[in-house]
Amino acid sequence: MNIAKHPVIIDDILHTTLAKQRAFAKAQGIESYEQRREHLLALKALITNNQERIIKAINLDYGNRSRHETLLAEIINACADINSTLKQLKKWMKVQKRHVDHRMYFGAKNRVIPQPLGVVGLIIPWNFPINLAFSQLAAAFAAGNKAMVKMSENSRHLSALLAELVGHYFKPEKLAFFCETGEVGIAFSKLPFDHLMFTGSGETGKKVMAAAAKNLTPVTLELGGKSPAVIAKDYPMQKAVERIMYVKQLNAGQICTNVDYVFVHQSQCEHFIETATHWAKKHLPDIHSEDYTAIIDDRAFKRLVDCVTDAQQLGAKVITLGKQAADAKTRKFPLTIIMHSNDNMHIDTRETFGPILMLKTYHSPQQVVDYVSERDRPLAFYPFSYDKSLINYYIDNIMSGGVSVNDALFHVGQHDLPFGGVGASGMGHYHGYEGFLTFSKLRPVFYQARFTSIKFLTPPYGKFADRLLAFLTRINS
C-alpha cells in the first residue's frame, strides 16, 4: 500500500488497517489447520507466480542484483521455508500434555494450547526483502495471525509490486504491505501490535523498541554487529578461503550474518592473502559483471569508501583483491582486505555490511576468545577446525546468536534451526518451530477434577488440615 507522506494520513491508514485486522481476527476466531495451510500455500503462490517480476523489481532497487543470488537467497529459500513449515504445521499446532502433581491435584489435567497472538507487525530491511518478509510471514501465518508488513525505503520497486499483488492472494484484513515514504516506519513502530518484529541496525532497533514499549508491545529484534571467523592451523587454508570469500562477495557482503573479520594464525597470514587474491582473480575478475551485486545506494557506498580511507589514514594496510577500484557510478565495490586495524578506526567499531574483510592474527585460541568476548556479542560466529575439542572450546567460550562450523552463513538457511541474536545483536527467534512459538501464545490450561482435596483446606483449619499439610511438607522437602 502506497501512503502519502502527510503524517496524519499515514497514521490514519495504519490505524484503520490495524482495526480492520483486529475485527477480522475477532469475527473469524482461531484459524483451523486447513485455513493456515491455505494461507501458507497462497504465500508461496505469490512468489512463484510472480517470480520474474520480483527478480526484476529487486534488481531495479539495487541498481544491479545478481539474478542467481535473488533466486538462491530469496525465491528458493523463502519457498523452501514455507514448504518446511507446511510439513511440520500439524505437529506444532497440537495441544501439549503437561505433568500434574497428583499428590496435590489428583485427577486434574494440565494442557498447553498454542493460540495466535492476533495482529503482528513486521519491519523488513532491503538486503533480502523477499526471504525475510516471507519467512517471517510463514511463521506468523502458521501460528494463525494477521500481519502488517512495512518494507524498506530502499525496496521501492519491490514494495510497489507487493502492494499491487497482495490483493490477488489475501484480503487486507489478513495481510497488508506498506511502502516506506519517509514517515511510515516511525508511525508503524508506534502501533499497538500484539507482536512486532524488526530486522535492521542496532541503532534503529533501539528506537523501534522504545516506541513499542509505550504500548507494552513485545518485540523480536534481529540486528547485526561484527561477526568473526577463526581459522585453526589444522584446517586447509584453501577450503577456508573458498567458503569465507564466497560469503563475503555474496550480495556484495550486504548480509547481517556475514563474516566481518577473520582470525588467522600469525604463521599463516600471508598464505591467507595469497589464497584470497587467487580466489578473487578466478571468481570475480570483473566487479562490473552482472553476477556481482551493487551496493544498495550512494550513502552506503560512501560509507564503505570512508571506512577504507579512515583505516588507511590511521595506519591500516588496505589490500584490494583485484585491479579495479570502487566505482561510484555503478556502486560496485571490490573485495577488500584490511590489515592492522584497531579500535580507533571506524572499520573496527562499526558493522561493515559490505565486501570488506578485516584480517587479524592470533597466536593462541585464548587470544581469540578474549578479543571477541570483550566486545558486543555477535550475531554469528564461524570457527574452522577439524579438532572437535577446539571447536567446542570456541562454542563454549564465545557467545553469539548462531554458529556455522567449518563454513559461514549457512546456519541461517537451515529451516529447522532457530535464528536470532543475543545481546546487542538482537533478541528472540524465528525460523521453524521457534518462529511458530514467537507468534503464538502458549496458553496454560488447568482442568480441575470433579473431586478436589483442596476442599479440606478451607478455614476454619482443623487437625485434618494440620496432618495433610504436614504430610505435603514432608514429601516435598
Question: Catalytic residue numbers?
Answer: 222, 256
For 214, other C-beta atoms within 10 Å of its C-beta total: 10
d(CA 202, CA 224): 7
End-to-end CA distance of the chain: 61
**227-231 and 336-339: which strand pairing?**
unpaired
- Residues 85, 78: Cα–Cα separation, whole Å: 11
CA distance 225 to 256: 7
Rg of the chain on CA atoms, in Å: 26
Alpha helices in 194-252 (DSSP H): 202-213, 237-249
Amino acid at site 23? A
Distance CA 207, CA 80 (A): 33
Contact between 440 and 117 under an 8 Å Cβ cutoff? The reply is: yes
Q: Residues 337, 342, 343, 344: is their CA dihedral positive or negative?
A: negative
383 three-class SS:
strand
Please give the full DSSP string across 409-429, using - where no structure is assigned. STTTT-TTS-B---GGGEE--
Give the C-alpha separation, 275 to 296, whole Å: 28
Closest CA to 75 of 156, 122, 131, 155: 131
Give the number of other Cβ atoms within 10 Å of residue 163's Cβ. Answer: 18
Q: Side chain identity at 185, as an amino acid letter?
A: G
Record the cell numbers describing residue 421, joined without a space: 541474536
How many angstroms separate the CA atoms of 424 and 68, rounded?
A: 32
Whole-Å CA distances, 216 to 10, 136, 195, 198: 22, 21, 9, 15
Tell me, what amino acid is at 67? Answer: R
d(CA 128, CA 121): 18
Task: Indicate the pairing of strand 109-116 with strand 440-447.
Answer: antiparallel
Q: Which residue has the cell 556479542?
A: 377
Are 276 and 317 in contact by the 8 Å Cβ rule? The answer is no
